[in-house]
Amino acid sequence: MALLELEDVHAYYGNIHALKGVSLNIDKGEIVTLIGANGAGKSTTLRATSGLLRPREGSIRLEGEDLTRFPPYEIVAKGVVQVPEGRRVFGRLTVTENLEMGAFAITDSRSIKENMERVFTLFPRLKERRNQVAGTLSGGEQQMLSTGRALMSSPRILLMDEPSMGLAPVLVDNIFDTIRELHDGGTTILLVEQNARMALQVSGRGYVLQTGSIVLSDSAENLWKNEMVRKAYLGEM
């Protein structure tokens, strides 16, 4: 059984049919990427999975349990956690307070402390700035904090929405190194990333979305070789 499975998911923004029968699956320990142009439905797929947008049709199952009947905070408690596009840290709270917000679903203080240490090991810069107000951090540091905040809830699957957006090239490399490190540690990741070249390098499989529909799914290696993918998303003529 797949860890996460979407089956024939249809979702709307008002009268706009944003997802048109999306079906995909992710096994435990995988990194799977969603590739597509702006407006293709990548972020909407994550929003539907995390409960921020309720599908009108279809099912979203975590190890067989349908998530569509739960509110977002219960979906987080079940282990589906999103790192949002644009980072969205709590700007007036400190780094430590932001991380503590990510652990709202955990009641065991020892687990919270262990997760905090794990985040500080993964991101030493955050440990250095633990008492700094998050709104004064750089863009790269805020991305670290947003990712760390998600890890505080001990996710079974991490939904990452455009983690490299707006970052300098050297910081993009750092973010993808972190994604590899998370994967090596056993974290399952569904990755939405405009930088298809980098996304395919870290992923095992991928899906291509066009105007709300999946038009192609394959191993990352085969997608990398696919002529349509190379022309449309890898910038090759």
Q: What is the pLDDT of residues 140-155, one digit of tens each?
A: 999 999 999 999 999 9
pLDDT for res 237: 57
* Average of per-residue pLDDT across 53-71: 97
Provide the domain count of the chain: 1
Measured in degrees and rounded to the nearest 5, phi and psi for residue 202 equal -100, -10
Query: Is the residue at 49 inside a domain?
Result: no
Confidence of residue 194 (pLDDT cuts 50, 70, 90): confident
Query: Is the residue at 182 inside a domain?
Result: no
Strand bridging mode 213-219 / 57-62: unpaired
Query: Is the residue at 159 inside a domain?
Result: no
Domain with 95 in it: 80-149
- Are 222 and 216 in contact by the 8 Å Cβ rule? The answer is no
d(CA 50, CA 70): 9
Phi-psi region of 10 (alpha: psi -120 to 50; beta: other; left: phi over 0): beta
d(CA 27, CA 178): 20
Query: Is the residue at 18 inside a domain?
Result: no
Residue spans of alpha helices (H) in 78-219: 95-102, 109-122, 124-128, 139-151, 169-184, 196-202
Query: Is the residue at 89 inside a domain?
Result: yes
Query: Is the residue at 107 inside a domain?
Result: yes
Percent of the chain with pLDDT over 70: 100
pLDDT for res 107: 86
d(CA 90, CA 8): 35
* Average of per-residue pLDDT across 80-91: 90
Query: Is the residue at 55 inside a domain?
Result: no
Query: Is the residue at 154 inside a domain?
Result: no
Structure tokens at 183: 């994967």
* Average of per-residue pLDDT across 46-66: 97
With tokens 């991928």, the residue in question is 206
pLDDT over 80 at 70, yes or no: yes
Confidence of residue 36 (pLDDT cuts 50, 70, 90): very high
pLDDT over 70 at 112, yes or no: yes
pLDDT for res 20: 98
pLDDT over 90 at 45, yes or no: yes
% helix, strand, coil for the chain, step of 5? 40, 25, 35
